[in-house]
Amino acid sequence: MPEGRFKEGIAGERLAASQYAENFSDLHPPLDHHEALVESDRCYFCYDAPCMQACPTSIDIPLFIRQISTGNPIGSAKTIFDQNILGGMCARVCPTETLCEEVCVREVAEGKPVQIGRLQRYATDIAMAQDKQFYERAAPTGKKIAVVGAGPAGLAAAHRLARHGHAVTILEARPKAGGLNEYGIAAYKSTDDFAQAEVDYVTAIGGIDIEYGRALGDNVHLADLTSVYDAVFLGMGLGGVNALRAEGEDAEGVEAAVDFISVLRQSDDLSALPVGRRVVVIGGGMTAIDAGVQSKLLGADEVTICYRRGKEHMNASEFEQDLAASKGVTIRHWMQPKRVVVDAGGKVAGIELEYTALQDGKLVGLGQTVTFPADQVFKAIGQTLVSDALNGGGPGIEMEAGRIRVDDEGRTSLAKVWAGGDCILGGDDLTVSAVAQGRDAAESIHRYLMQG
């Protein structure tokens, strides 16, 4: 979305220049050497560790923590990267509080888990700072693979394929690689241009070319890719945004939360990025929290997140919800958008919401409404796959519930085509899951190519 759409019309006093740097500083500052040793010593190094079972990429967590505790962070990083080549970003953005740390024995017994995510960051940061490369490309196989999308799934697939000696071309629609790691997460979760540093680290293995401005369905067509390449991996994520289905939602000032976050992440001057005085975010996931919190950090007076179900139904973790509350964001439950209030100039002036309830397991509107004044409304109610881009000029690919259907190895219904990440049925909007799917699909592609 053009950046200019966020540079029109929302004026008013803002924050002191120094406040922006403070507000958008690292959410979880890195552990120093002493802190890492102390924290690693808390681990029980469990046999059949529940934390490892909860990790979508199956990192050997007890082993990498033991390696830190014995003064071997480089060895620890290798243990992490063996399973998750994007372990540095996952250490920053994974909802560890609902994955590995939730099932930590320390959490169950004491309510204070080992800080697995911060320990993972400690080890991977050291290895990346030293540009320690653990993997060499195998001898070239002569096979060529196209990867659509340079997000977590695509990068993980490309790296694993390059390790096996295949030549990989990544086709990326945007000007930068990284996908949601670059464009879609809160700025305070990934500081110092880390997403691009990780792209450079991953592609340093060699054998990976990235072509920018290449969009599936525009100047790239699946039928052409399957005719030129030995295999294709689809990891392009989701391009569409769900509608509010509310009257007046086309009013000026009603925007997609993902677009707002994307523009913010690419901004060189946060003070020049307008934000409403009263902001309302519709949704209950991580994107809604990221949009709401960052609106507040940019200087909005009031930020309200409205979700159609209860607190316990929100996709955003309890930690994320508490973070929003700590920043002054109000979360309201059991209400759904009904009408956007528009002023005489066509700009949003408020939003009318209907109270909801569950009746016989079904969400229903109760007929009672409330109107919140707002000069900015963000839609964060999920994204959709633009499926038209998949099938131009060739046979159709099997879909289900608006996503690409794949088997256990990531194979689609089309020969030579695999997929992973948010675009597939079962994609869960987690970087770590996308990495696992890209990695596993790459192994399946390798087996297919080597078996002829």
The pLDDT score that the predictor gives to residue 240 is 85
Hey, how many other C-beta atoms are within 10 angstroms of the C-beta on 221?
17
**Domain ends where: 129, 164, 194?**
129
In degrees, rounded to 5, the angle at the alpha carbon of residue 384 between the alpha carbons of residues 170 and 284 is 115
Quote helix, strand, coil % in the chain, to nearest 5.
40, 20, 40
Domain of residue 52, CATH code? 1.10.1060.10
Does residue 134 form part of some domain? no
334 and 301 in one domain?
A: yes
Domain of residue 246, CATH code? 3.50.50.60
- Residue 438: name the closest of 8, 63, 83, 29 by CA: 83
Dist. CA 280–CA 377, nearest whole Å: 5
In this prediction, residues 432-445 reach a mean pLDDT of: 97
Q: What is the pLDDT of residues 35-46, one digit of tens each?
A: 999 999 999 999
Hey, how many other C-beta atoms are within 10 angstroms of the C-beta on 30?
14
In this prediction, residues 326-336 reach a mean pLDDT of: 98
Confidence check: pLDDT of 152 > 80: yes
Dist. CA 424–CA 408, nearest whole Å: 12
The pLDDT score that the predictor gives to residue 375 is 95
Confidence check: pLDDT of 193 > 90: yes
Confidence check: pLDDT of 174 > 70: yes
336 and 299 in one domain?
A: yes
In angstroms, the Cα distances linking 77 to 63, 132, 136 are: 11, 9, 16
Confidence of residue 9 (pLDDT cuts 50, 70, 90): very low
b vs e for 373-403, b when ≥16 Cβ sit within 10 Å of the residue's Cβ? ebbbbbbbbbbebbbebbbeeeeebebeeeb
**Domain ends where: 382, 401, 421?**
382
In this prediction, residues 222-226 reach a mean pLDDT of: 93
Confidence check: pLDDT of 389 > 80: no
**Domain ends where: 350, 382, 414?**
382
pTM: 0.93
Dist. CA 387–CA 42, nearest whole Å: 48
The domain in which residue 351 lies consists of: 241-382
